[in-house]
């Protein structure tokens, strides 16, 4: 027994050393980095890209370079809440005020609360919340969990297949290994057709993280319990808590986090004033000057 444990420990140490060497190899292959690219490309980041490409340095390098190019033009770290707040008025996507059992940030999505037609704005809103969720991860965690509530869902309220495809592309290619699990809670039958249309764009590793759960199936209930404390989990997902989204309160929280974001990336900026729902609607409706 001792020999088996020793062999296992030796194997783990060798594997860890090999992966460390891959990280160094990838960093050398990337060449000199500066500014935000240097800050983004931590060893942990390089490991995520290597993991996403099965530790193939060349493929990970290509993937990471595409992300750096995307970040230089899309500038996700510069998005501020007041720019996307109108997308969040109904609480269709929000960061939960609880974590899963492993301490991971939880994003709650409610496609039945879809309130705007712009695919581009929907993606930008989600990117903002991805960046925010990452900012709020504890030091011991690199991944987040998603909970999707289908209350009020219809094909008329859901995002388009194109928007869903764009979201999947951004998540898989620019936020690799950031997703721990996705729970699709009690999806209606009409969702199956939508899922078939977008599943083609989901890579196998991501697809394995997607869990269909149903409140009347015992295994589903037990699965939710392994990931979440039922006392914290909203009733919409089989828990005992109440899911209450207050847009103005959430906006205050996001404005505070925008200050943390600016500090993290080295921006010198004052916190944005808090915009309430009525002010935001007025701003969006007003023609550009």
Long-range contacts of 243-250 (CB under 8 A, 24+ apart): 243/108, 243/149, 245/90, 245/91, 245/94, 247/85, 247/88, 247/89, 247/91, 247/276, 247/277, 248/274, 248/276, 248/277, 250/88, 250/91, 250/94
pLDDT recorded at residue 280: 45
pLDDT recorded at residue 169: 96
Superfamily of domain 83-264: CRAL-TRIO lipid binding domain (3.40.525.10)
pLDDT, tens only, 268-285: 655 444 444 445 444 444
Question: Do 230 and 79 form a contact (C-beta atoms < 8 A)?
Answer: no
- In the chain, the N- to C-terminal Cα span, in Å, equals 76
Q: Report d(CA 57, CA 63) in Å as an integer.
A: 10
Residue 21, classified by CB atoms within 10 Å of its CB into exposed (0-12), middle (13-18) or buried (19+), is exposed
Instruction: Using a pLDDT cut of 70, give the percent of the chain over it.
Output: 88
Judge whether residue 161 has pLDDT over 90: no
Average pLDDT of the chain, as a whole number = 89
30-34, 36-40, 196-200: which has the minimum mean pLDDT?
196-200
Phi, psi of 96 (to 5 degrees): -70, 160
Q: Report d(CA 31, CA 66) in Å as an integer.
A: 15
Question: Do 133 and 171 form a contact (C-beta atoms < 8 A)?
Answer: no
Residue range(s) in the chain whose domain bears CATH number 3.40.525.10: 83-264
pLDDT recorded at residue 44: 96
pLDDT, tens only, 221-266: 999 999 999 999 999 999 999 999 999 999 999 999 999 999 999 9
pLDDT recorded at residue 53: 96
Residue 214, classified by CB atoms within 10 Å of its CB into exposed (0-12), middle (13-18) or buried (19+), is middle
Mean pLDDT of 149-170: 89
């Amino acid at each position: 027994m001792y020999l088996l444990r020793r062999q296992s420990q030796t194997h783990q140490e060798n594997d860890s050393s090999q992966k460390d060497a891959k990280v160094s190899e990838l960093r050398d292959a990337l060449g000199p980095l500066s500014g935000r690219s240097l800050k983004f490309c931590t060893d942990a980041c390089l490991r995520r890209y290597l993991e996403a490409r099965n530790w193939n340095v060349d493929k990970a390098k290509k993937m990471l370079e595409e992300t750096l190019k995307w970040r230089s033009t899309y500038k996700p770290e510069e998005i501020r809440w007041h720019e996307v707040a109108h997308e969040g008025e109904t609480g269709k996507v929000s960061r939960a005020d609880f974590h899963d059992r492993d301490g991971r940030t939880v994003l709650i999505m409610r496609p039945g609360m879809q309130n705007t037609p712009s695919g581009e704005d929907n993606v930008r809103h989600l990117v903002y919340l991805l960046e925010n969720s990452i900012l709020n991860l504890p030091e011991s965690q690199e991944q987040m969990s998603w909970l999707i509530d289908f209350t009020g869902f219809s094909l008329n309220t859901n995002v388009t297949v194109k928007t869903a495809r764009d979201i999947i592309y951004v998540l898989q290619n620019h936020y690799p290994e950031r997703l721990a699990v996705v729970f699709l809670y009690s999806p209606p039958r009409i969702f199956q057709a939508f899922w078939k249309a977008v599943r083609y764009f989901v890579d196998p590793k991501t697809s394995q993280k997607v869990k269909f759960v149903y409140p009347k199936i015992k295994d589903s209930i037990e699965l939710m319990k392994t990931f979440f404390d039922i006392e914290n989990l909203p009733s919409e997902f089989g828990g005992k808590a109440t899911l209450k989204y207050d847009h103005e309160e959430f906006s205050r929280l996001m404005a505070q986090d925008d200050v943390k974001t600016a500090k993290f990336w080295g921006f010198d900026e004052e916190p944005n004033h808090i915009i309430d729902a009525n002010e935001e609607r007025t701003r969006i409706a007003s023609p550009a000057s």
